[in-house]
Amino acid sequence: MTGLPDSESVAIARDLEAVRRVSAVPTILRILCDTTGMGFAAVARVSDQTWTACAVEDHIGFGLQAGAQLELATTLCVESRAARAPIVIENVAESDLYRDHHTPRIYGLQSYVSVPIVLGNGDYFGNLCCIDPRPAQLDRPGLLATFTAYADLIGRQLDLEGERLRADQALVHERSQSALLEQYVAVLGHDLRNPLGAIMACAELLARRKPGIDPSDLVRRILASGERMSKLIGDVLDFTRIRFGGGLPVQPRFEHDLAAALHNVIAEMAVQHPERTVDEALQIRGIVWCDTARLQQLLSNLLGNALVHGAADQPVRVEARLTGGELVLRVANGGDPIPPDQLVQIFEPYYRPPSSRQGGGLGLGLHICAQIAAAHGGRLEAASDALQGTVFTARLPVTQPLVPPAVG
């Protein structure tokens, strides 16, 4: 299925699984071979782009298995699909219509039956086929009606499979919504309660004005807790926009000094982590079409993650450059590598590794970073090993203006 559009590949995989779930199909194909004396029978998915075998009964070594494909133009199913009508050939050599046709010549066929499989909504699914290198007696009473009845039965079963799949998807969506509600409750009931409690405790101490208490220290704690609450709320709001708005909204514009904007983020993070070293190499010479605030958010999340989880005795490195029509933004830190089973989950919402400390965030930061990259038409990648440490790389196209998605 290489070279096919993603939508067609997904549809083929879905339909292969749907036919596999129809338990009557192998029996139907076996009965048709026994009834006609033909050696090969199949259920084929036939679209305007592809011919795919979904189920096969093969007694002549034709060589096709479920999932195999034939070039669409070489098949007679394409003609059956165009006419929405069966094709029956008893003996190719004696047929005025098909003796010189390319399909029998390519595949060495002498007898052929192909009956359309149409779904309840009128969509064309494919064909129920039989072929053989020998002639076959196919003008017997009721034979074509048998093929048609079996094709209708398969179509109805596929309709039922489609309904079951939609019901399963609805159930998954309902469970997802329930899980999302539980997560919101957890944020309100636990994650926000902690910094709010710290603010209230500090405020109470300030109100009492007990001797020996440094007001400036309490104010700093209040500000830090307030910033933490603001970030938690911002992450939840961004995730809500992603979940219900179909993606994270961006407002791109021409940025003349993106390097300075990114440097400001690094400087702010350095103030918060004076004990750490951050090396930067920002080589962005040119105008960039982007949402600067969102890219600052992306860098802030990645850099904060590196400072928290990276080795304290090794610097964090931030690189940014324009190359090949892309903005490449990279954040790297040393330390123990992320295990492969965790690395594949790292961009999932609310994912936090087992080693995460209490109060370390909601597990939305990296998910939001990936969505910021996607909203710019790019991608965010992660790599981690003992040699290079952990590296997050955002690759964002900057050669074509983005169309900001509708908000609301």
pLDDT tens digits for range 230-281:
766 777 777 776 666 667 788 888 999 999 999 988 988 887 788 999 999 9
- Give me the pLDDT at residue 356, please: 59
Residue listed under structure tokens 């083929």 = 12
Tens of pLDDT, residue by residue over 14-24, are: 999 999 999 99
Distance, in Å, from the CA atom of 86 to the CA atom of 314, rounded to the nearest integer, reads: 72
pLDDT band for position 357 (cuts 50, 70, 90): low
Specify whether 16 is located in the same domain as 159: yes
Query: Where is average pLDDT lowest: 24-28, 96-100, 253-257, 362-366?
Result: 362-366
Distance, in Å, from the CA atom of 11 to the CA atom of 65, rounded to the nearest integer, reads: 18
Specify whether 117 is located in the same domain as 228: no
Specify whether 54 is located in the same domain as 100: yes
- Give me the pLDDT at residue 191, please: 56
Instruction: Name the residue among 87, 5, 88 with its Cα closest to residue 47.
Output: 5
What is the amino acid identity at position 249?
P
> For 124-149, what is the mean pLDDT?
95
Tokens linked to 216: 């400036």
Residue 404 lies in a domain: no
Specify whether 12 is located in the same domain as 161: yes
What count of other Cβ atoms lies within 10 Å of the Cβ of residue 92? 21
Tens of pLDDT, residue by residue over 281-301, are: 999 988 898 989 889 989 988
Specify whether 14 is located in the same domain as 139: yes
- Give me the pLDDT at residue 74, please: 95
368/223: higher pLDDT: 368
Residue 296 lies in a domain: yes
CATH number for position 192: 1.10.287.130
- Give me the pLDDT at residue 199, please: 76
Domain that holds residue 73: 6-165
Specify whether 238 is located in the same domain as 326: no
Residue 153 lies in a domain: yes
pLDDT band for position 113 (cuts 50, 70, 90): very high
> For 361-384, what is the mean pLDDT?
86
> For 118-144, what is the mean pLDDT?
95
Specify whether 240 is located in the same domain as 291: no
Tens of pLDDT, residue by residue over 374-398, are: 989 999 999 999 888 999 999 999 8
What is the amino acid identity at position 134?
R
**Domain C-terminal end among 128, 150, 165:** 165
Specify whether 94 is located in the same domain as 26: yes
Residue 402 lies in a domain: no
134/367: higher pLDDT: 134
Highest average pLDDT, of 170-184, 237-251, 302-316, comes from 302-316
Name 273's Cβ contacts closer than 8 Å, sequence gap at least 6. Answer: 307
Specify whether 15 is located in the same domain as 106: yes
Number of domains composing the chain = 3
Specify whether 226 is located in the same domain as 333: no
| Residues 50, 8 contacting (CB under 8 angstroms) | yes
Specify whether 130 is located in the same domain as 72: yes
CATH number for position 371: 3.30.565.10
Residue 5 has pLDDT above 80, yes or no: no
CATH number for position 133: 3.30.450.40
- Give me the pLDDT at residue 155, please: 95
Residue 407 lies in a domain: no
Question: Average pLDDT of the chain?
Answer: 85
> For 331-357, what is the mean pLDDT?
80
Specify whether 55 is located in the same domain as 155: yes
| Residues 39, 59 contacting (CB under 8 angstroms) | yes
Distance, in Å, from the CA atom of 334 to the CA atom of 37, rounded to the nearest integer, reads: 69
What count of other Cβ atoms lies within 10 Å of the Cβ of residue 284? 20
- Give me the pLDDT at residue 188, please: 57
Distance, in Å, from the CA atom of 183 to the CA atom of 333, rounded to the nearest integer, reads: 30
Tens of pLDDT, residue by residue over 195-231, are: 677 777 778 777 777 677 777 777 877 776 777 677 6
Residue 187 has pLDDT above 60, yes or no: no
Residue 1 lies in a domain: no
Residue 20 lies in a domain: yes
**Domain C-terminal end among 186, 217, 245:** 245
- Give me the pLDDT at residue 25, please: 95
pLDDT band for position 190 (cuts 50, 70, 90): low
